[in-house]
Chains A and B, each alone.
Chain A
Amino acid sequence: MAIDYSLEPVLVEGNPPLKELDEVIIRPIDLKPTRKYQVVLAFFVSLLIIGIICTGITFYYGIGMWGNNQPVAWAFDITNFVFWIGIGHAGTLISAILYLLRQQWRNGIARFAEAMTIFAVMCAGIFPVIHTGRPWLAGYLIPYPNQHLMWPNFISPLVWDVFAVSTYFTVSLIFWYTGLIPDFATLRDRATNKIKKTIYSVFSLGWRGSSRQWQHYEKAYMLFAGFATPLVLSVHTVVSWDFAAAIIPGWHSTIFPPYFVAGAIFSGFAMVSTVLIFIRKVFDMEHIITIDHLEKMNKIILLTGSMVGYAYIIEWFMAWYSGSPFELFTTLNRAFGPYGWGYWVMLSCNVFFPQLFWFKKIRRSVPVTLAIVILVNVGMWFERFIIIVTSLSRDFLPSSWHAYRPTLVDFGILFGSFGLFFTLILLFARTLPVVSIAEIKSIVKGAQPVHHEEE
């Protein structure tokens, strides 16, 4: 391993001394919250409260408060579930896959993306549970010896989902916490306040930064990354099987797993960009989360967006090539039926606008990037909505067709999930280092010894 680290490109602009990096990253934690922060937090907490109230209404009056009805039994709830799970995927991609590929630029954004993964999976986890109508019985999904002497149906994709999502959450949490341990040690040794010091001591577990520890730590981190990589691909694959294993036209398709995974990474990167653009501005981290980071993420958005566009084209091709009149009808119905407007929103946001990233000027322009990534978020939400609702509302028999209309409670819970996500993001940004201190230090110029010996 004779890697010449001196040839690395500049990843942290200006080569700040390590002490200054500490200061910059930890400043948001030490300062009192500003007025602006409080206003933004209040806004998202209000959204969260709206969501909680709407969920409470659902529990009290029952699932009839939603627009769902036969045959559209899955609607906003599962749309939101798939949307949020997809958002999470970018975090693991950045932290695990880019780690294995030795893309060191990831160090600046990995912590934030991982946190986003965890919060997004938390938002996602709510929906299947409340969708069952009796969330207090959700414990039966876990195989434990119960009084009914029954086990879950392990050959159902819905049960695979339970295992996939809970494993994903646990592994992401461990990955995130492992990365946080050295940073907690840094926070602990800076803290002057006794209460803060105690809290940081507890979470740092007494980390000493010994090279004997670092050696195992890096090994474990690599193993985690190695496991998280197939895991992240499996999670959205399993989610897509929820659809693909059914025989509904428009769902029963082998392209779903790769199509869903690409879409998940696409939407996830869009969400990471959306939030990071604000974070780097507000917290003065423009030299840590540089314009190069945004450009690289835009390239990935362009790539995955094109993959999603390819999947849309293949859907049309398969509708014709399969020779199934139902498939053809469903595809035509998606584009020109009652929900056709949603299809064109989806198509323009996911396929057309990201193609603007072919231009370097647009890739490196922060306001344009922000506009496009927000559009991508919108488009990806509509994609899941279109897949679920158009297929269910008009399947085989015209006599069983039924239009779906969301109710106010549906919207309330959707907004509530955004409230939860951004509340957690805002709290995270002020309580924990949003950039991994140890990892960013390790890629500053001169941070690694120059090796002259051959081995």
Chain B
Amino acid sequence: MADEKKLFGVAALFDTADEIFNAAKKVNEAGFKNYDVNTPYPIHGIERAMKLKSSKLGYVTLFFGFFGASSILFFMWWALAVNYPLVIGGKPYFPLPAFVPITFEFTVLNAVVSTFIAMIAIVFNLPFNAHPLHDTNYMKNVTSDKYGVVIESDDPQFDENKVTEFLKSLGGKSIELIHNPEPKILKAFEPKFVVFLIIVAIITSASTYVTLNKFMYLPPFDFMLNQNKGSAQAESTFFRDKREMREPAKGTVARGFIPYAFNDPADTTEFYSDPLLPTKKVLKLGQRKFLTFCSPCHGNYADGNSRLRGFFPPGPTLHSAKVIGYSDGQIYNIITNGMQGIMPSYAYQTTRDERWAIVNYIRVLQRAQNPKPSDFSAISELIKESGNASN
């Protein structure tokens, strides 16, 4: 790397296809490995003279063709039969023959595009405009009407004089020594480049701004803005009560609305029983909702020792015999309606399931304060197990 003007190789030109064919053959027979033959058009049979392995591009095509076919078929099945099933023309969700055309088209598309990309970018390693051969007299001839051989300097047998003699003996004309070009270092902060970047930034942002803020408000893109509609707070010229915003018809019930029959902390035991099982998931939900809505007054452990003590009327402990004696339905009713004009209703902050989850969680807290003897044995069992596991 120290020598910047390093020799890339020795090149020779030939006049006819027969000559280049023989030259390629001789170069290969002489045992050279890193050499190349450049021609203006494909010479048939030269791959045999050069003993090249046949192209593997077909495997890329095969793989991506199959990949395209299976992926689009799977996608269409998923889209029309799983994600958004629609009955179209009374046909089944997955009528295979009707999916054949698109599967075919996508297979072709995938195979061709992947083959092209694989050939250009991976096999040829293009674009490569900095290759040492470019801009040489040799290159200018071999893309027009001459045929050339170049033996590269990194070939194990390479020796400048010997190779030159060898190419001459093959009948090569205008032998040319090709050097590696001096590596170019691009300066990122060259004034011209910075100005270019600034101009690009200004044009991009200005056109984006104009497109989004001006252009999209011009016809025909403004069809969403200019509709015949009334806005909620505007005065209506059509309705007698001059209100644009209409009230729902009498007796309208919102979707999913279930009326709640009790307005005061009545004994609802016989109407409501806990519909949820005290599973881990339910208790987790109940804990989260309890900590959010209940703990500010009742305390994190429902013992009435809350962080708002002194600022608000204190919430009572939920471990009293009275509360323990409440039925699940009663506690649910209290959360829904509030209590004694001090505790507000939580019907609008929590869903029904969440309220039942809170009830479950309160029961857990109460049990934790007043454990049964069986709980102790269960806990010691657990500790023993975990101890064994850690050993």
Chain A residues engaging chain B, CB cutoff 8 angstroms: 1, 3, 5, 17-19, 22, 59-60, 134, 136, 143, 149-151, 153-157, 159-160, 163-164, 167, 170-171, 174-175, 178, 182, 185-186, 188-190, 201-202, 205-220, 223-224, 227-228, 230-231, 234, 238, 241, 437-439, 441-442, 446-451, 455
Contact = CB atoms under 8 A, between A and B. Distances in A.
B57 A223 contact: yes
Interface string B169-202: 0000000000000000000000000000000000
B38 A18 contact: no
- The residue in B41, B58, B129 that gathers the most chain A C-beta atoms within 10 A of its C-beta is B41
B119 A216 contact: yes
A228 B91 CA distance: 32
B36 interface: yes
Contact of A219 (B55, B80, B91, B144): B55
Given A438-B41, A446-B17, 10 more contacts: A22-B145, A160-B105, A170-B113, A206-B131, A209-B142, A216-B55, A216-B124, A220-B115, A224-B115, A448-B44
B144 A151 contact: no
B365 interface: no
Contacts, number: 211
Nearest 8 A-B pairs (CB), nearest first? A18-B145, A155-B98, A449-B21, A219-B55, A151-B79, A442-B41, A206-B128, A205-B126
Nearest to A238: B101
Given A174-B116, A446-B17, A449-B18, A5 B44 contact: yes
Nearest to B42: A214
Contacts of A149: 83-84
A197 B119 CA distance: 24
B382 interface: no
B105 A205 contact: no
Contact of B58 (A5, A150, A219): A219
B144 A163 contact: no
Nearest to A18: B145
16 contacts: A17-B145, A150-B84, A154-B80, A163-B105, A164-B101, A189-B140, A189-B144, A205-B120, A206-B126, A206-B127, A209-B40, A211-B42, A211-B43, A234-B105, A449-B20, A451-B45
B139 to A, nearest CB: 6
A209 B143 contact: yes
B276 interface: no
Interface stretch (B46-54, B240-248, B303-311): B46-54
Nearest to A168: B105
Nearest to A447: B17
Contacts of A136: 220-221
Contacts of A164: 101, 105
Contact of B39 (A134, A175, A211): A211
B99 interface: yes
Interface string B93-124: 00100110110111011011101100110011
Contact of B55 (A151, A215, A224): A215
- The residue in A190, A202, A223 that gathers the most chain B C-beta atoms within 10 A of its C-beta is A223
Interface in B21-79: 21, 24, 36-48, 50, 52, 54-55, 57-58, 61, 75-76, 79
Given A214-B39, A442-B41, A167 B131 contact: no
B16 interface: yes
A210 B36 contact: yes
B321 interface: no
Nearest to A214: B42
Contacts of A449: 17-18, 20-21, 43-46
A215 to B, nearest CB: 5
- The residue in B42, B84, B126, B134 that gathers the most chain A C-beta atoms within 10 A of its C-beta is B42
A250 B253 CA distance: 54
B88 interface: yes
Contacts of B282: none
A22 B144 CA distance: 7
A170 B111 CA distance: 12
A214 B111 CA distance: 20
A217 B119 contact: yes
A200 to B, nearest CB: 10
Contacts of A446: 16-17
Contacts of B116: 174, 178, 220, 224
Nearest to A164: B105
Contacts of B16: 446
Given A211-B24, A211-B43, A205 B55 contact: no
A59 to B, nearest CB: 6
Given A206-B128, A450-B18, A171 B47 contact: no
B313 interface: no
A143 B57 CA distance: 30
Interface string B224-258: 00000000000000000000000000000000000
Given A208-B131, A211-B39, A447-B17, A216 B99 contact: no
Interface string B5-19: 000000000001110
B86 to A, nearest CB: 8
Contacts of B130: 206
B145 A170 contact: no
A448 B40 CA distance: 12
Contact of A171 (B40, B43, B108, B220): B108
A212 B79 contact: no
A20 B126 CA distance: 29
Contact of B102 (A154, A174, A206): A154
A211 B38 CA distance: 6
B275 interface: no
A380 B60 CA distance: 40
A213 B124 CA distance: 7
Contact of B52 (A134, A171, A188, A212): A212
B364 interface: no
A151 B43 contact: no
A185 B48 CA distance: 25
B387 interface: no
Given A189-B144, A230-B108, A449-B18, A155 B95 contact: yes
B219 interface: yes
A8 B21 CA distance: 19
B339 to A, nearest CB: 44
A26 B51 CA distance: 35
A167 B109 CA distance: 6
B234 to A, nearest CB: 27
